[in-house]
Structure 1
Amino acid sequence: MAGRARTVLVVLASGLLVILGGCSSPQPDVTIDLLRENWKDVTGVTAGGDGLQVTASARSIVGQDGRGGQPDPPLNLAGTHLMVGGDFTLSATFADMTADASWALYDKPPVIADEFRVEPAGLRLTLQGKELDIAVFDGTQNKDLARPVPMHDERVTLNNPEAPLTVHRSGDTLTVASGGETLTSLALGKVFSSGRLWLGFSSDSGGFDVTSLTAAAPRSAGLRTSGAAAADVWQSEDGLQALAAKTRPDLRIGAAVALGPLSSDEDYARVLVGNFGSITPENAMKPQFLSPRQGVYTFEEADAIIAMAQSKGMIVHGHTIAFTEAMPRWMRELPSGTDAERKSSAAALLDYVTTVVTHFKGRLDSLDVVNEPFDVDQGTSFQQNIWYRVFGSGYPAVVSKAVYAADPAVKQFINENGADVPGRRQDALRKLASDTNAQGGHLYGVGLQAHVYDIGTDAISAGDLSKTLDAFDAAGLRVRISENDVTDDQGTDTQAQQYATVLAGCLRSRACVSYTTWGVDDRYDWSIDHDGNLRQGHDFLFHDGQPTPAYDAMRQVLGG
């Protein structure tokens, strides 16, 4: 029988299943107990002396129109992930399952938008009773992002669901086993090619305990744990914020951020922390991300973003409280047909406001208390959302007063699109802000989003911006340029000129207290086009970690 390779299964005392191809593969000699690592910022996961307790968080992403509900199970983003350059073995043991138990292993975090989640390459194991679903994703996206299609999907029956579940990579082969029994073995393809492993546990409708969780690998694989990418980077003395401080020390240059790239992408973390003095959580503070079920709050990811910002000396702008989109289904479906229903729903909405603002009290410099109140067709009528149906046209004042009662120090803004240039929509926004304060509100100013999706129709001229800022200044209102991004459809030089025009206008006006661009790097500039296809944009200041001409133009405006 010489020349035929043998496969030997070895079960270690820890319960790890090690698959040895032939007699030449050594046993793992680096082992990490992952239960002792950092899990404190993972939604639905609580670390205790006996392991991890996992409860259902009901996190999902609802579309702009309120339909759908793509599952959004959490990963350990701000805490511990693994670095490994070769073969590895991971093992987990579940106990006290009340429904389903899911274990995810990805080689990078998903990209999260306010409307969809882009599933990365990785593995998801879901156990319910004795049935184990094994789904392997290679990162390929189908047209329906809400229903990602795995490259491999099968269901197997376990003899003992309390036995350790084991995931093993050996060369180009991925093996899943339970209690010493191989369940499936398949070609890896693109899966686990990044040299990193991001872990998460979740349940759709119940809870369970993780009583053991280990990682092992040959010493040559370089297995180790790592934290968030932003931990080891600092503001540059030559970055955008540092340059602005030389002429306008009161002006903050900011960007919208997401926890996934902030934790996993060294380029993203470097250019963000190096250049910006403030951040806006892109999605993590929107209602559907903070409260997926009524009375249930999932603050962990927002807390992690804020903690990172504070550790780097950055201020945080909160986004957002009252908003037609990005609402969880429970909030959208609050009744409003009768006086009694409106009274009950008002109590639920105000409880949400008080709980959220109290939780973040003292950690936010400013906050969008109302976001995009006017209709989406660029008119001046209110969107008929739950806030309007419950409180009427005076709802911004109601929300503002509730925010002030919970945190009187946070600066309050109404944020709107399409009001960047003089016209009826801008006049309506200025009147709404003034009326809100006349009704007892506490608005500090307005946010002008300054999205330039089409240079031909959306471009903001220096003259129009100057008139706009003067008009709000005369009304006693401060202005944030709150979400500036610019298409490159007419070339990067035109894009750069538009970026520079907006920043220069803000820099010259005492009314403009901050400038924020709605993103950092084009790697994460994703949207769904009119045909339902995933589309990557090129609207930001950096591309794959490198500055664009728009960034250089911004530096020139700031004297760099």
Structure 2
Amino acid sequence: MAWRRRILMALASGLLLAAAGCTPNNPEPDVVLDLLRQDWGNTPGVTPDGGGLRVAATSRTIVEQDGGGGQPNPPLNLAGTHLEAKGDFTLSATLTDVTADASWSVYDSPPVIADEFRIEPAGVRLTLRGNELDIAVFDGSRQETATAPRPAHEERVTLQNPDTELSVRRAGDRLEVAGGGKTLLSQPLQGVFGSGQLWLGLASDAGTFQVSSLTATAPEGSPLTAAGPAVEQAAAGEDGLQALAGRIRPGFRLGAAVALGPLASDPDYGRVLVGNFGAITPENAMKAQNISPQQGVYTFGEADAILAVAESKGLAVHGHTIAFTEAMPRWMQDLPAGTDAERRSSATALLDYVSAVVTHFKGRLDSLDVVNEPFDTDQGTGLQENIWYRVFGPGYPAAVSRAVYDADPDVKQYINENGADVPGPRQDALLRLALDTNARGGHIYGVGLQAHVYNLETDAIPARDLARTLRTFQDAGLLVRISENDVVDDDGTEAQAQQYAAVVETCLRSSACVSYTTWGVDNRYDWLIDDDGSLQQGHDYLFENGQPTAPYHAVRKVLGG
């Protein structure tokens, strides 16, 4: 498996140390770990080139719900090798052939990527533009504005030679940055490099550059080793939630939405995921803004890494998503649709995107959201007039569905929507849309009911209403996924647990409900922006800091555990 190969490469790095006359547990001061020889294969924008690394701009950003904004989301090497550094260390890099800008980051942990923002971890980012070097230090403290993180310290220095070697060093309780043999920054660590892990990123905003050297060294008594992804060590549980569900309904899958960062860095996350779930949904990695940030350019690396985890652990994968008003890259939002000629041209661009994405993942997905959240965001029943609507008209789901089928006739297609979990106008509209799509030549297998419960007074999903909903879709010849269930704890964990149990039990008892997925794994990664713009942690999932919550115990009881 790909992840095992990466572990072997990390072990091989340890052998490089031994070859120098030392071991990872007893390094000598002059031992050098060549990071160019590590695995960068799933890092967007980074490719091996002539013994070094070539870095190209990906233009990855995280757009806001209204399609605006664009918080930068530069890639890190999440699926490959990171470093375990328990003491002092020096990382050195030489960046050459910079056409616009070159950025090198060293973080304590991967950033937390939410739907509409990125939480910047503690670490250092160096950005080279000509002779100017920008130094930004993030201390991991709570940001006033999550979508516009500000460094705890930043400064600009001028280098005599832009091709000089740059270094980031931890020396006791100090952080040092050097270039050309001169110290450019020396300050107390102040929360930086306290995790014992080092995660590396290479990115450009607008150009390309070459990394001709990238090394790590550690003095005697400061172990420094290469490490692979944390999830590699996780194993399925004989008494986990998926195992219990399979005894009641063989073939039924309990799933969770996942992100690559915690899969790679958090052993607890991997342990509870693989031990309790039989399916995953990539939370953000397959959305258009991540896999096609520029028209005709595809950065599949992070999604591929998640799928490699699923394949190595025997987990089914539900793809998420193709046509979606949110999470669109700017090129897609700006496609012209004013004239017939423009609509024809834009239709070609959109269908090329569908074909490229579905073909790339062909045979690796059990099911796929071909259309996600098509209706008005105010819980209405009208279709959002996004680029798909403007180009293809109100029948656009059929155009998307046919294109998906042409690329992969075996993947099960779903239309996924929120607010349709209980009988009412929005559910009626979803049913009509699915049937109309198939009447127009589409291949919709079923619907995804997101089952988000943000407020137990207004969003509660009574078991009786959900059972009626499942019968309605089954009578129409459609199957159902509970696709994104999560429940707030504002009314206490007992009420939260009861709601979780009601949804899981009702789904499990209905032959129309083929799978259940919760929209996250651990509350450690459950973050949201409050109405006042502040960053808040949620407590909506089945685990918290690797430990089961009250909802977990309620779900387990439903499953007979």
TM category (shorter chain) comes to over 0.9
Percent identity, aligned pairs only, is 70
CA 489–142 in structure 1, closer or farther in 2 if over 3 Å, else same: same
In 2, Cα distance between equivalents of 1:126 and 1:40: 23
Cα offset for 1:178? 1.4
1:225 aligns with 2:251: no
User: Residue in 2 aligned with 1:83?
Assistant: 84
User: Residue in 2 aligned with 1:8?
Assistant: none
Cα offset for 1:166? 1.1
1:420 aligns with 2:424: no
User: Residue in 2 aligned with 1:278?
Assistant: 279
Give the match's secondary structure for 2:363: coil
Cα offset for 1:139? 1.1
Task: Spell out, residue by residue over 1:490-522, the C-alpha distance to the aligned partner (whole angstroms, 9 max, x if none).
Answer: 111111111010000011000000000000001
In 2, Cα distance between equivalents of 1:138 and 1:27: 30
Cα offset for 1:142? 2.6
Matches within 5 A, 1:352-367: 352-367=353-368
In 2, Cα distance between equivalents of 1:289 and 1:113: 12
1:74 aligns with 2:99: no
Task: Spell out, residue by residue over 1:59-116, the C-alpha distance to the aligned partner (whole angstroms, 9 max, x if none).
Answer: 1111111111111100000100000111001111112111111000000010111211
Read off the aligned partner of 1:271 and give its amino acid letter.
Answer: V
Pairwise CA RMSD: 1.0
Give the match's secondary structure for 2:305: helix
Check the 8 A contact 2:165/2:180 in 1, yes or no. yes
In 1, Cα distance between equivalents of 2:148 and 2:449: 35
Give the match's secondary structure for 2:102: strand
Check the 8 A contact 1:541/1:550 in 2, yes or no. yes
Cα offset for 1:143? 2.4
Check the 8 A contact 2:527/2:537 in 1, yes or no. yes
Read off the aligned partner of 2:114 and give its amino acid letter.
Answer: A
Task: Spell out, residue by residue over 1:214-241, the C-alpha distance to the aligned partner (whole angstroms, 9 max, x if none).
Answer: 1011242221011111011111101111
1:28 aligns with 2:33: no
Matches within 5 A, 1:204-223: 204-223=205-224
In 1, Cα distance between equivalents of 2:302 and 2:46: 12
Check the 8 A contact 1:125/1:134 in 2, yes or no. yes
Matches within 5 A, 1:533-548: 533-548=534-549
Read off the aligned partner of 2:550 and give its amino acid letter.
Answer: P
Task: Spell out, residue by residue over 1:234-271, the C-alpha distance to the aligned partner (whole angstroms, 9 max, x if none).
Answer: 11101111111111112100000000111111111110
Read off the aligned partner of 1:477 and give its amino acid letter.
Answer: L
In 2, Cα distance between equivalents of 1:256 and 1:330: 27
Read off the aligned partner of 1:421 and give its amino acid letter.
Answer: V
Check the 8 A contact 2:176/2:186 in 1, yes or no. yes
In 1, Cα distance between equivalents of 2:212 and 2:514: 51
Which is further off, 33-42 or 140-149?
140-149
User: Residue in 1 aligned with 2:193?
Assistant: 192
Read off the aligned partner of 1:147 and give its amino acid letter.
Answer: A
Matches within 5 A, 1:403-482: 403-482=404-483
Check the 8 A contact 1:30/1:219 in 2, yes or no. no
1:131 aligns with 2:132: yes
Task: Spell out, residue by residue over 1:378-419, the C-alpha distance to the aligned partner (whole angstroms, 9 max, x if none).
Answer: 111111111111111101111000000000000000000000
Cα offset for 1:140? 1.8
Check the 8 A contact 1:173/1:188 in 2, yes or no. yes
Return 5+ residue gaps in structure 1 as ranges.
Answer: 1-25
User: Residue in 2 aligned with 1:61?
Assistant: 62
Cα offset for 1:475? 0.5
Check the 8 A contact 1:141/1:148 in 2, yes or no. no
In 2, Cα distance between equivalents of 1:85 and 1:148: 27
Give the match's secondary structure for 1:296: coil
Give the match's secondary structure for 1:132: strand
1:173 aligns with 2:174: yes
Matches within 5 A, 1:90-169: 90-169=91-170
In 2, Cα distance between equivalents of 1:496 and 1:475: 31
User: Residue in 2 aligned with 1:19?
Assistant: none
User: Residue in 2 aligned with 1:322?
Assistant: 323
Matches within 5 A, 1:382-401: 382-401=383-402
Cα offset for 1:177? 0.9
User: Residue in 2 aligned with 1:17?
Assistant: none
Cα offset for 1:29? 4.6
Cα offset for 1:27? 6.7
User: Residue in 2 aligned with 1:246?
Assistant: 247
In 2, Cα distance between equivalents of 1:508 and 1:550: 19
Matches within 5 A, 1:495-510: 495-510=496-511
Matches within 5 A, 1:264-343: 264-343=265-344
Read off the aligned partner of 2:252 and give its amino acid letter.
Answer: L
Cα offset for 1:301? 0.4
Task: Spell out, residue by residue over 1:15-55, the C-alpha distance to the aligned partner (whole angstroms, 9 max, x if none).
Answer: xxxxxxxxxxx972542111111110100000234211111
Give the match's secondary structure for 2:295: coil
Check the 8 A contact 2:96/2:210 in 1, yes or no. yes
Check the 8 A contact 2:144/2:534 in 1, yes or no. yes
In 1, Cα distance between equivalents of 2:375 and 2:153: 45
Cα offset for 1:145? 2.2
Cα offset for 1:172? 1.0
In 2, Cα distance between equivalents of 1:27 and 1:437: 67
Task: Spell out, residue by residue over 1:431-463, the C-alpha distance to the aligned partner (whole angstroms, 9 max, x if none).
Answer: 111111111100100000000000111111111
Read off the aligned partner of 1:161 and give its amino acid letter.
Answer: P
Give the match's secondary structure for 1:295: coil
Give the match's secondary structure for 1:340: helix
In 1, Cα distance between equivalents of 2:231 and 2:221: 27
Flag as ranges the 4+ runs of structure 1 deviating above 4 A: none
Give the match's secondary structure for 1:364: coil
1:50 aligns with 2:16: no
Check the 8 A contact 1:369/1:400 in 2, yes or no. yes
Check the 8 A contact 1:361/1:407 in 2, yes or no. yes
Cα offset for 1:144? 2.2
In 2, Cα distance between equivalents of 1:138 and 1:75: 18
Give the match's secondary structure for 1:220: coil
In 1, Cα distance between equivalents of 2:221 and 2:275: 34
Give the match's secondary structure for 1:69: strand
In 2, Cα distance between equivalents of 1:460 and 1:161: 60
Give the match's secondary structure for 1:455: coil
Check the 8 A contact 1:316/1:364 in 2, yes or no. yes
Return 5+ residue gaps in structure 2 as ranges.
Answer: 1-26
In 2, Cα distance between equivalents of 1:485 and 1:262: 20
In 2, Cα distance between equivalents of 1:527 and 1:287: 21
In 2, Cα distance between equivalents of 1:480 and 1:127: 48
Check the 8 A contact 2:542/2:552 in 1, yes or no. yes
User: Residue in 1 aligned with 2:3?
Assistant: none
In 1, Cα distance between equivalents of 2:115 and 2:493: 27
In 1, Cα distance between equivalents of 2:328 and 2:350: 12
In 2, Cα distance between equivalents of 1:437 and 1:93: 56
